[in-house]
């Protein structure tokens, strides 16, 4: 099974005398009590520096404390509490029914699980579109829940909203191209930027997001060559999903890359594991043992 490379954490690297991959620019978080460990947190300056140094940014989604802790231990740079929550956790067919309450609850859980990775939370549908005041208030709620930045969908049309949230000192990650909250406007989940007018529009969207003050932008479902052009044109890091290898980083939904989600398999998903099978086998073995009376045994009983 191939999995994300087990990078030593920055603290482990320092202990082993290896160079710190992110020198400076981090805050230190102390825990409580005498045994508290100082944890070097990843921040937006680290991500900007990674683009400048040509170091790829690794981002993955997580929706709870358990997986956030595992991914943090592996050494991913960014954890996204995505509104993909709606599909991969809550059982909806799209992201449109995810609420602020859902996002606050799951952002808090992921924040409690991770120590070092930078945590981004998605702004759900209708949490930022109605008014600038709603957008700032809801972005602030996600920071209060434990995120360090919010992500919202839109380019030139979201320019004012991004500017207002960023002006409230809340870091914003943009998201352009195939934007799942616009599924009905796009006529389905379709690759964007294939025609000349769409290409021009995406280049303009990318420029608008950066000019409005976003610190990074997700490029979803766009041709690799266009994503490369956008990545070279922007000074902020681009994170690709279905956007080719030239982006400054990549993101995947955890259930997709772990091989847990079987309902559909987009072309851009690589399954780095096949975890559905061992889960089915383990639960099947448990069910059989309960039914034939071999579990619990003496060793599991008091």
**Positions that interact with ligand KIV (CB under 6 A):** 61, 80, 82-84, 122, 218, 220, 241, 251, 253
The CA angle 165-169-175, to the nearest 5 degrees, is 45
Strand partners, 249: 57, 239
For ligand KIV, which is the closer residue by CB, 46 or 122? 122
Q: 265 vs 79, 81, 186, 190, 205, CA distance in Å?
A: 22, 20, 19, 14, 27
For ligand KIV, which is the closer residue by CB, 41 or 151? 151
For ligand KIV, which is the closer residue by CB, 10 or 171? 171
Q: d(Cα 8, Cα 223) in Å, to the nearest integer?
A: 33
Least separation in angstroms between residue 39's CB and ligand KIV is 25
For ligand KIV, which is the closer residue by CB, 40 or 67? 67
Least separation in angstroms between residue 81's CB and ligand KIV is 8
Least separation in angstroms between residue 274's CB and ligand KIV is 21
240: which residues sit within 8 A by CB, 6+ positions away?
218, 219, 220, 227, 246, 247, 249, 250, 251
Among 160, 220, 274, 281, which one carries the catalytic annotation? 220
Q: Pairing state of beta strands 39-40 and 28-29? A: antiparallel
Is 200 catalytic? The answer is no
Least separation in angstroms between residue 263's CB and ligand KIV is 15
Place of tokens 């829940």: 145
Contact 48, 210 (CB under 8 A): no
For ligand KIV, which is the closer residue by CB, 39 or 176? 176
Residue number of the CB atom closest to ligand KIV: 82
Least separation in angstroms between residue 30's CB and ligand KIV is 31
**166-202 exposure pattern, b = at least 16 Cβ within 10 A, e = fewer:** beeebbbbbbbbbbbbbbeeeeebebbbeeeebbebb
The catalytic residue positions are: 220
């Amino acid at each position: 099974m191939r999995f994300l490379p087990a990078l030593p954490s920055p603290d482990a690297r320092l202990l082993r005398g290896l160079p710190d991959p992110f020198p400076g620019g981090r805050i230190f978080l102390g825990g409580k009590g005498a045994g508290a460990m100082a944890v070097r947190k990843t921040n937006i300056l680290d991500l900007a520096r990674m683009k400048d140094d040509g170091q790829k940014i690794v981002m993955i989604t997580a929706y709870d404390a358990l997986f956030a802790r595992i991914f943090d231990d592996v050494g991913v740079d960014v954890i996204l509490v995505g509104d993909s929550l709606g599909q991969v956790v809550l059982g909806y067919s799209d992201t449109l029914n995810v609420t602020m309450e859902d996002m606050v609850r799951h952002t808090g859980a992921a924040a409690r699980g991770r120590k070092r990775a930078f945590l981004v939370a998605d702004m759900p549908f209708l949490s930022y579109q109605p008014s600038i005041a709603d957008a700032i208030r809801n972005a602030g709620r996600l920071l209060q829940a434990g995120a360090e930045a919010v992500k919202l969908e839109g380019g030139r049309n979201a320019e004012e909203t991004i500017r207002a949230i960023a002006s409230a000192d809340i870091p914003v990650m943009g998201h352009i191209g195939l934007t799942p909250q616009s599924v009905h406007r796009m006529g389905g989940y379709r690759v964007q930027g294939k025609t000349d007018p769409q290409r021009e529009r995406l280049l303009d969207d990318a420029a608008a997001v950066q000019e409005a003050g976003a610190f990074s932008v997700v490029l979803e479902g766009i041709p690799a060559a266009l994503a490369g052009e956008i990545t070279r044109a922007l000074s902020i890091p681009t994170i690709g999903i279905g956007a080719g290898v030239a982006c400054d980083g990549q993101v995947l939904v955890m259930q997709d890359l772990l091989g847990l989600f079987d309902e559909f398999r987009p072309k851009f998903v690589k399954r780095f594991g096949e975890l559905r099978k061992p889960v089915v086998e383990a639960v099947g073995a448990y069910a059989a043992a309960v039914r034939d009376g071999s579990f619990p045994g003496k060793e599991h009983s008091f």
